[in-house]
């Protein structure tokens, strides 16, 4: 009986010692920690790259939209060829980022009341007329100079996300639209006329 008890005690002691050895053994913990942390670090790296790229493109969109409005407000009259050339102005400002499937609208607006104006002419990137001449448009409340002439530029550029998340390619968050609208007041004269706009 005593031999059996001593045997069981020795076995328990060996098991306890084996468990302590297992507990102290640190081989492979680095690999396990790396396997847990690596995906998180990769996602953080790609996410920070995505955010910085998005901010860069958003700044370019803002600059391109303001440049288009700024160029037009320096004119006393424009024509369809000039308005259609604003696409090239926006593309050159957006460089080195490509502009595909974008939307650019330029509109000449005569302010008729605080926050209200009438469209004089309008042109989009496809050669269409997004706002009919004579139609009423709402302006920001801080534009209150009656009879002033305003050029509005609206630029929308889709930005495709690069995140490697499963199933994101078919999700609606794969592409976000970066947009900017600017209102610039005419610099010379009373109005910017469009000689061949209909």
What is the tens place of the pLDDT at every residue in 132-191?
998 999 988 888 788 889 999 999 999 887 765 555 555 556 788 899 999 999 988 888
Q: What is the pLDDT of residue 163?
A: 65
Q: What is the pLDDT of residue 53?
A: 87
Task: Give φ, ψ of 102 to 5 degrees.
Answer: -95, 170
Structural contact between residues 127 and 83, judged by C-beta atoms closer than 8 angstroms: no
Q: What is the 3-state secondary structure (H, E, C) of 119-153?
A: EEEEEECCCCCCCCCCCEEECCCCCCCCCCEEEEE
H/E element, 108? strand 103-113
d(CA 90, CA 84): 11
Name the pLDDT band for 98 (thresholds 50, 70, 90): confident
Name the nearest CA neighbour of 149 among 111, 118, 122: 111
Across 37-52, average pLDDT: 86
Q: What is the average pLDDT score of the chain?
A: 84
Q: What is the pLDDT of residue 145?
A: 81
Across 109-138, average pLDDT: 91
d(CA 49, CA 54): 8
Q: What are the boundaries of each domain within the chain?
A: 29-194
| Token output for 163 | 């995140």
- Enter the pTM of the model: 0.74
């Amino acid at each position: 009986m005593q031999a059996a008890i001593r045997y069981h005690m020795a076995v328990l002691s060996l098991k306890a010692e084996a468990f302590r050895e297992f507990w102290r053994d640190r081989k492979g913990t680095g690999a396990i920690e790396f396997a847990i942390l690596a995906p998180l670090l990769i996602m953080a790296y790609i996410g920070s790259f995505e955010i910085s790229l998005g901010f860069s493109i958003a700044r370019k969109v803002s600059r391109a939209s303001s440049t288009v409005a700024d160029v037009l407000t320096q004119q006393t009259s424009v024509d369809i060829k000039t308005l259609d050339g604003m696409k090239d102005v926006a593309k050159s400002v957006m460089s080195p980022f490509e502009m595909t499937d974008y939307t650019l609208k330029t509109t000449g607006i005569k302010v008729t009341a605080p926050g209200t104006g009438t469209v004089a002419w309008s042109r989009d990137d496809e050669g269409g007329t997004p706002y009919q001449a004579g139609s009423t448009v709402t302006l920001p409340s801080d534009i209150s100079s009656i009879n002033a002439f305003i050029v509005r530029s609206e630029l929308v550029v889709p930005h495709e996300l690069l995140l490697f998340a499963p199933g994101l390619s078919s999700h609606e968050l794969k592409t976000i639209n970066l947009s900017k609208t600017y209102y610039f007041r005419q610099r010379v004269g009373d109005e910017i006329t469009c000689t061949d706009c209909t």
